[in-house]
Amino acid sequence: MSRRGWVLFTLMSVIWGIPYLLIKIAVEGASPPLVVFARTAVGAAILLPLALRGGGLRALRGRWGWLLLFAVVEMMVPWVLLTDAERHLSSSLAGLLVAAVPIIAVIAGRIAGDREPLGARRWIGLLVGLGGVALLAGPNLSADGVLPILEMFLVAVGYAAGPLITARKLGDVPSLPMTAACLSVAALAYTPAAILTWPDETPSVRVVAALAALGVICTALAFVLFFELIREVGPARTTVITYVNPAIAVAAGVIFLGEPLTLSIVVAFALILAGSFLATARSRPAGESAPAPAAAGGRGTAKDAPAKDGTADGAPGRTAGHGDA
């Protein structure tokens, strides 16, 4: 890759690895609905004017039903569940559990009608990756820990289902207008809940800074850089950031919040990473050349190369995150 490509790749690997840290800080003084509202409202306020320039929203005509469904399963539901779960789980654990999205995406694809043979390699990847998830979740399945783990499972399911919707129903919609529209819808939907759960005391500077960073850096700036990265290095190399984000999430939690780095976390991350790589490998006929390496799932996938208008068609990245989260 070019030097610019490496810079963009590094920025995206970090930017979509730190939402878990920021969310953990934000829930110290803000409710989960308020966190989601702040993130989506700030992101929409920045991206919507860019999408409106040149009439970009015209591409969304006739797609609002699918856009709403995508916003629900990729942003509105996962982001509030993730935020609520982080009131009880460490940010590093949350980041690692979301790393299982590529594995769940393979299963979701089969349920949705994907008939590509899995093969021994992909089956092994599924089992290895799920073993890593079980190693992480097992110690937290106490009476008080079941609900947060269930919430994280639903987050991963939503993050896996979102790209399926875009690939099958929204694949030809430019990503920037689609992302801006979805963020705007999510912000409007969470406005009443944010008002009802508004804190009685003004949140600390630390909490406000985390909310601002979630909206400006991890949402608005992240998507702009994401599109630039696709244009610079192509969608296949871009999706490899989904293998780096969990490591950043763990490192950020350990360094800035003093979260423990145990042997089980290291082993589980290695299992999930290896399982994701094996489970998302695509079989090809004998004699066919190998495709460019790609990592599936997560908050940073792109279906096709950038369109002529400078936007990238396909699923917008991790919030979700992406991101991510």
Q: Does residue 288 fall inside a structural domain?
A: no
Low-confidence residues of the chain: pLDDT under 70: 54, 140, 142-144, 235-236, 239, 282-325
How far from 293 is each of 5, 14, 102, 236, CA to CA, in Å? 16, 20, 14, 6
Give the chain's length: 325
For residues 58 and 50, the answer to whether their CB atoms sit within 8 Å is: no
Task: Give, rounded to a whole angstrom, the gap between the first and last alpha carbons of the chain.
Answer: 26
Question: Which distant-in-sequence residues (6+ apart) come within 8 Å of 312 by Cβ?
Answer: 174, 175, 226, 227, 230, 231, 235, 302, 304, 305, 306
Q: Does residue 100 fall inside a structural domain?
A: yes
Single-letter residue type at 283: S
What is the C-alpha separation between 164 and 70, in angstroms, rounded? Answer: 9
For residues 167 and 235, the answer to whether their CB atoms sit within 8 Å is: no
Residue 160: alpha-carbon gap to chain centroid: 9
Of 236, 233, 246, 324, give the one whose Cα is nearest residue 316: 324
Q: Does residue 293 fall inside a structural domain?
A: no
**Number of domains present in the structure of the chain:** 1
Range of 31's domain?
3-279
Residue 207: per-residue pLDDT:
97
Q: Does residue 216 fall inside a structural domain?
A: yes
**HSE-CB for 91 with a 13 A CA cutoff:** 29
Of 181, 189, 157, 160, give the one whose Cα is nearest residue 66: 181
Q: Does residue 287 fall inside a structural domain?
A: no
Residue 142: per-residue pLDDT:
66
Residue 304: per-residue pLDDT:
41
Residue 310: per-residue pLDDT:
37
Residue 269: per-residue pLDDT:
86
Q: Does residue 132 fall inside a structural domain?
A: yes
Q: Does residue 296 fall inside a structural domain?
A: no
What is the C-alpha separation between 122 and 140, in angstroms, rounded? Answer: 28
Angle of the 205-215 helix axis to the 19-26 helix axis, nearest 10: 140
3-class DSSP assignment, residue 280: coil
Residue 284: per-residue pLDDT:
55
Angle of the 101-111 helix axis to the 146-169 helix axis, nearest 10: 60
Q: Does residue 137 fall inside a structural domain?
A: yes
